[in-house]
Amino acid sequence: EKEYIGFATLPEQVHRKSVKRGFDFTLMVVGETGLGKSTLINSLFLTDLYKDRQPTDPTEKINKTTKIEKRTMEIEEKGVRLRLTVVDTPGFGDALNCEESYRVCEKYIDDQFNKYFQDESGLNRRNIQDNRVHCCLYFIPPYGHGLRQLDIEFMRRLHKKVNLVPVIAKADVLTQKEKKRLKENMMKDIAANQIEIYEFPECDPEEDDEFKRQDAELKASFPFAVIGSNTVLEVAGRRVRGRQYPWGVVEVENQQHCDFVKLRTMLISTHMHDLKDMTQEVQYENFRTQCISQISQ
Ligand code: GDP
Ligand code: MG
């Protein structure tokens, strides 16, 4: 029995013509080592993207440089093809001075814009492979009281270049009350520091009530508090992805336990195309304008 992750709704999110060609989508994941980035990606896309990964080489930690690890997979659901690229940034924030980490992420994003810009002015304009970063999931540890200086600096540096989606990592260590408080504090910090995170578009008034309700619920739950797991457990006869505790199982896909399903719904079923649109019309347009004004100077 095949499990679906839900991007087959993409044709409804987008014009027919691109359906045949398939879709490109690139997701960047950023956050310190151990926050559960790889696990969450595997849970999101039901793959084991990192299975061939060697155990962390101890010298890696000594070097403490941020690397870019890019993995692409082609997935097909109900006749819709998606070329998904996940850009991981192992080593992010592990050094004392985070400047290098920001620079590595920023450079990767800029390089993809640059490549796209060159392709666009080339002869084969119609078949450009879109490797631009459409969304950046930024993992924030659950242990603090809000955003740290590191988080603020990273987001301020990148917010004009990519759709930033902050998430609270490893949310299973928080009680409902703590989760609520942390979310409120983070939203306050985001506003106070003029950070522009990804904003959901206004809901189309034509949409049905169920869609509107779901949309409002997504908006109200930002930033999503997520849990990842690669373990499938059995709970009351059901097989679920979860984390086993002495007092029970925390289920990844249980909306009472965390916002994983909301994140997946947003990224894949409802807002993937808006993320691509924003990349094209806002962030890339910004970049293009800067390039052109530099050339004509
Ligand atoms: P990465 O370095 O950010 O890619 O983190 P990993 O995905 O490799 O996870 C690091 C450790 O945290 C592993 O032992 C995971 O099993 C564990 N982990 C991952 N996600 C969660 C989570 O949501 N909650 C808890 N408690 N542990 C997690
Ligand atoms: Mg990892």
Mean pLDDT over 177-205 rounds to 94
Ligand 1 centroid distance, CA of 286 (Å): 35
Confidence of residue 57 (pLDDT cuts 50, 70, 90): very low
Q: What is the pLDDT of residues 27-37, one digit of tens each?
A: 999 999 999 99
Name, in order, each residue with C-beta under 8 angstroms of 112's C-beta and a sequence gap of 6 or more: 26, 131, 132, 133
- Whether the CB-CB separation of 48 and 230 falls below 8 Å is answered with yes
- Which of 87, 139, 128, 137 is CA-nearest to residue 108? 87
pLDDT at 13: 63
Q: Kindly give the interhelix angle for 99-120 and 285-295, rounded to the nearest 10 degrees.
A: 80
> 129, exposed or middle or buried, with CB in 10 Å at 0-12, 13-18, 19+?
exposed
The ligand minimizing its distance to the Cα of 139 is 1
Residue 75 has pLDDT above 70, yes or no: yes
Name, in order, each residue with C-beta under 8 angstroms of 65's C-beta and a sequence gap of 6 or more: 91, 95, 100, 104
> 287, exposed or middle or buried, with CB in 10 Å at 0-12, 13-18, 19+?
buried
Give the nearest ligand 1 atom to 90 CA: 2
Confidence of residue 207 (pLDDT cuts 50, 70, 90): confident
Does ligand 1 lie within 6 Å of residue 185's CB atom?
no
pLDDT at 58: 44
Cα–Cα distance, 142 to 133 (Å, whole number): 25
Does ligand 1 lie within 6 Å of residue 227's CB atom?
yes
pLDDT at 128: 85
Residue 281 has pLDDT above 60, yes or no: yes
Confidence of residue 50 (pLDDT cuts 50, 70, 90): low
Q: What is the pLDDT of residues 215-268, one digit of tens each?
A: 888 889 999 999 999 888 988 888 888 999 888 899 999 988 899 999 998 998
Does ligand 1 lie within 6 Å of residue 267's CB atom?
no
ipTM: 0.99
Ligand 2 centroid distance, CA of 230 (Å): 13
Ligand 2 centroid distance, CA of 157 (Å): 23
Q: What is the pLDDT of residues 80-136, one digit of tens each?
A: 788 999 999 988 887 777 888 899 999 999 999 999 999 988 877 777 889 999 999
Q: What is the pLDDT of residues 243-256, one digit of tens each?
A: 998 888 999 999 88
Does ligand 1 lie within 6 Å of residue 242's CB atom?
no
